[in-house]
Chains A and B, each alone.
Chain A
Amino acid sequence: MRRVSKAPRRLTRTEARSARAASGFLLPFLALFLLCFIAPIGYALYESLLKVERTGPLGLGGETKQVWAGLSNYAHALEDDRFTAGFGRVLLFGAVQIPLMIAFATALALLLDAASARWVGFFRTAFFLPYGVPGVIASILWGFLYVPGISPLVEMADSMGWDVDFLGRGAVLWSIANIVTWQFTGYNMLVLIAQLKAVPGELYEAARIDGANAWQVARHIKLPLIRPALVLTTVFSLIGTLQLFAEPKVLKPLSNSIDSGYTPNLAAYNEAFTSNNQHIAAAEAVLLALVACVLSFGFLRLVGQRGKDGDNG
């Protein structure tokens, strides 16, 4: 009974009992985590390294089998101009939309924090409401507001002599950016407000006694203190941006400017379900996850580093 484990350090009896009880609580989650997170990643990696080969005369026979492909699926994906263009597009999208949205959310959070109490509840709810609208519904909704003939916005612009085309080649990416901004600004704002509320009131008191005005308090006290929440919302936005799918998919029938590889996710989806090319789709999904991880970890490291420098200085 004593030799419970062959681990280098023998477990004490309490530790062993602890481990036994803990595993009972942990196993159900871990089993499903394995099935839904670890296994798909492994399976995608495996699939991405295979390809389908047809046998028979002239390669036209009914016989197909999976053979080792090495990295050829990755090479194929990376050589596909549409796929790489899609990646470039979401990166450009993120570089513009994320800073704008976070700045917008920060401004709203600071304004709400400074506003008189009577209005705060209404505004907070109004800003947060779009988060409750699923991406697909939001895209259907805004789609109607973009399409000429049905959109009151286009009609109003027309009557003022403006010729707007929300779904044109240059504009459609930013029309999508508007949908995403509309949906998630309120969510990010609430995260920031939550962190603002955790700032001890004495800090403001001290600043006021030192003669700081509202702007200085916001700039020099509130902003630095909500930095962790800013980092968090930025990382989540980054992950979300790379996954862009519902918006372009819903707007695609309305706009000629959205092709089947408009975003990496759309490309992988079409590769798997339209072209029946699941090995290339798997490679594209792996590339997508890889880029997402590199970018979010990279960003965390970057701001982590800068934070430490700031503390030293």
Chain B
Amino acid sequence: MNEANDLAGAVASEPADGAASGQVRPEAVPPDDRPGAGRRAARRREGTEPPLRHRIITVSLLTVAAIYFLTPVYWLVVSSTKSSSDLFGTFGFWFHDPHPLDYLHRVLTYDDGIYVRWFANSLMYAGVGALAATLLSAAAGYALAKFRFPGREGIFNVILAGVLIPGTALALPLYLLFSEIGLANTYWAVLIPSIVSPFGVYLCRIYAAAAVPDSLLEAARIDGAGEARIFSTLGLRLMTPALVTVFLFQFVHIWNNFFLPLVMLSDSDLYPIQLGLTSWQGYADRQPELYQYTVGGAFLSVLPLMVLMGVLQRYWRTGLTEGSVKA
């Protein structure tokens, strides 16, 4: 499976390479997080400060891009403060008679508070699913990194191939299978597939190989600790940064997944938020206030992930190229 190995190389540099580049790079703190003035002064001393013209062009281009990415979000914020008639009747990029709390309250209480239920479902699917996925991936990745046994590489390659199989091509057969065994239209139908993360296993294996020293495991074994205990006290602790990454990725993945719940669930009480909002949107032709609720509901649903994004991007480097470097 050369291809799969190529992919492996692409996702994370080999532990040795990663460690090397980690040593070469002098600053332990990402340069981005340092105060700009200090960095600029340093650059000026070194004579590498880019000319002013370059900086103006760079910032202008970045600003144009930022406008593109932020405009829809801005529209959403403005529109969540409008009534349905104002949504259609007033200019979309400016406020008109804003009643944000009033409208959001109506979103939350419409149809006996079904929105709150969807929100809770989403949190449950993503929270429980990501937690279980992280633990399973950690155990599997640890086993693949720290034990030698026949078939190890074969198993790993099959799991890696799983990363390349399109999720929605699986969802439909999975539905047929689950309805055969009576699991369709239950919480389990969405939860069970969500806790299998081949990418998580991959990441945990790479990380465990670099961050959990064999000598430490040997020492623990000589002290008479069982394998389960060694894993739960030493392995999990040393792998924490990778586990945080796996958890966050899987959380976002489950939260954003639309196709799987769509095929699996028919009972709207089990819906996650995305599914609920599309059902509102579908009825909006007949019930115009649902336009407003769809917009308000979308606004509310985006908030927690926006916060999570702020946290997540910090872990990005740890997760993707340097997962193996820093313990």
**Which B residues are in CB contact (< 8 Å) with A243?**
166-169, 259
A70-120 with Cβ < 8 A to chain B:
107-108, 111-112, 114-120
Contact across chains for B309 and A28 when beta carbons are under 8 A apart: no
**Does chain B have a CB within 8 A of A253?**
yes
A244 to B303, CA, bound (A): 25
**Which B residues are in CB contact (< 8 Å) with A195?**
320-321
What per-residue 1/0 map shows which CB atoms of A28-55 lie under 8 Å from chain B?
1110110111011101100100000000
**Does chain A have a CB within 8 A of B140?**
yes
B255-292 with Cβ < 8 A to chain A:
255-256, 258-259, 262-263, 274-275, 277-278, 281-282, 285
**Does chain A have a CB within 8 A of B33?**
yes
A268 to B166, CA, bound (A): 14
A300 to B172, CA, bound (A): 27
A118 to B39, CA, bound (A): 9
**Which B residues are in CB contact (< 8 Å) with A137?**
274, 277, 298, 301-302
Contact across chains for A36 and B192 when beta carbons are under 8 A apart: yes
**Does chain A have a CB within 8 A of B11?**
yes
Contact across chains for B274 and A229 when beta carbons are under 8 A apart: no
Contact across chains for B321 and A265 when beta carbons are under 8 A apart: no
What per-residue 1/0 map shows which CB atoms of A230-260 lie under 8 Å from chain B?
0110010001001101100110010000000
Given A117-B31, A125-B309, A232 and B301 touching (CB < 8 A)?
A: no
Report whether over half of chain A's contact residues are helix, strand or loop; otherwise say mixed: helix
Contact across chains for B33 and A121 when beta carbons are under 8 A apart: yes
**Does chain A have a CB within 8 A of B182?**
no
Given A232-B7, A239-B164, A243-B166, A285 and B172 touching (CB < 8 A)?
A: yes
Given A37-B196, A114-B50, A144-B79, A134 and B258 touching (CB < 8 A)?
A: yes
**Does chain A have a CB within 8 A of B70?**
yes
Contact across chains for A25 and B139 when beta carbons are under 8 A apart: yes
CB distance from A165 to the nearest CB of B (A): 17
Contact across chains for A140 and B294 when beta carbons are under 8 A apart: yes
Given A7-B150, A129-B70, A246 and B166 touching (CB < 8 A)?
A: no
Q: Which residue in B3, B140, B306 is a CB contact (below 8 Å) of A30?
A: B140
A135 to B75, CA, bound (A): 17
CB distance from B73 to the nearest CB of A (A): 7
What per-residue 1/0 map shows which CB atoms of B220-251 lie under 8 Å from chain A?
00000001100100000000000000000000
What per-residue 1/0 map shows which CB atoms of B310-327 lie under 8 Å from chain A?
101100110011100000
**Which B residues are in CB contact (< 8 Å) with A288?**
166, 168-169
Given A140-B298, A300-B7, A214 and B140 touching (CB < 8 A)?
A: no
Q: Counting chain A CB atoms within 10 Å of each CB, which of B13, B55, B166, B275 scores highest?
A: B166
A interface residues, tally (CB under 8 Å):
113
Q: Which residue in B24, B35, B87, B162 is a CB contact (below 8 Å) of A117?
A: B35
**Does chain B have a CB within 8 A of A69?**
no
Q: For B226, give the chain A residue with the smallest CB separation.
A: A21
**Does chain B have a CB within 8 A of A304?**
yes
CB distance from B301 to the nearest CB of A (A): 6
**Which B residues are in CB contact (< 8 Å) with A41?**
165, 170, 173
**Which A residues are in CB contact (< 8 Å) with B198?**
33, 37
**Does chain A have a CB within 8 A of B212?**
no
Q: Which residue in A24, A36, A132, A142 is a CB contact (below 8 Å) of B196?
A: A36
**Does chain B have a CB within 8 A of A124?**
yes
Contact across chains for A25 and B274 when beta carbons are under 8 A apart: no
B27-50 with Cβ < 8 A to chain A:
30-37, 39-40, 48, 50
**Does chain B have a CB within 8 A of A61?**
no
Given A33-B198, A152-B92, A43 and B177 touching (CB < 8 A)?
A: yes
Q: Which residue in A125, A126, A235, A249 is a CB contact (below 8 Å) of B7?
A: A235
**8 A-B contacts (beta carbon < 8 Å):** A22-B143, A22-B149, A25-B142, A32-B192, A36-B170, A121-B33, A214-B54, A229-B321
Which B residues are closer than 8 A to A by beta carbons?
2-3, 6-7, 9-11, 13, 18, 21, 24-26, 30-37, 39-40, 48, 50, 54-55, 58-59, 61-62, 65-66, 68-70, 72-73, 75-76, 79, 87-88, 91-93, 136-137, 139-140, 142-144, 147-150, 152, 155, 159, 162, 164-170, 172-177, 180, 192-193, 195-196, 198, 201, 227-228, 231, 252, 255-256, 258-259, 262-263, 274-275, 277-278, 281-282, 285, 294-295, 298, 301-302, 305-306, 308-310, 312-313, 316-317, 320-322
Contacts beyond the supplied A19-B150, A114-B54: 19 A-B pairs with Cβ under 8 Å? A24-B143, A37-B162, A108-B62, A117-B40, A129-B309, A132-B302, A132-B308, A134-B301, A144-B79, A145-B72, A152-B93, A153-B92, A155-B91, A194-B317, A198-B321, A201-B25, A214-B54, A269-B172, A304-B6
